[in-house]
Structure 1
Amino acid sequence: MMNRHEKWEHEQNLDEIVDRLSELLASILLMSVKQINEQYLPLKKRLEANQPEDIPF
């Protein structure tokens, strides 16, 4: 059995792990968005260049 202090330390360690994982996840998401934007812009420019000015209906 863990005593009160050991439980407190354990909870603090878990809180720190969760905080670090949250920061890591946020960083990964931001890097992914940046990468998608970098890949999307050249594709968008190519598609715009291939589109006719007037769209027939």
Structure 2
Amino acid sequence: MALPQQVELFEKSLVSQALAHHQGRINEVCETLGLPRKTLYDKLRKYGLKAEDYRQRTRH
């Protein structure tokens, strides 16, 4: 696999891990990754990730 593809896979993994760790809380993910909010949303769109998929749902 070429370097650009490896970098993208690594970046997607880091974003996904941060989303999971912070349970989809965008502000915390931005702070952890040192990214502006718009940049994070651009990366979510690029990698097909959704913050809401990482949020814990409470059951009643």
TM over 0.5: no
Task: Give the shorter-chain TM-score range.
Answer: 0.3 to 0.5
* Larger helix share, 1 or 2: 1
Structure with bigger gyration radius: 1
TM-score by length of 1: 0.40
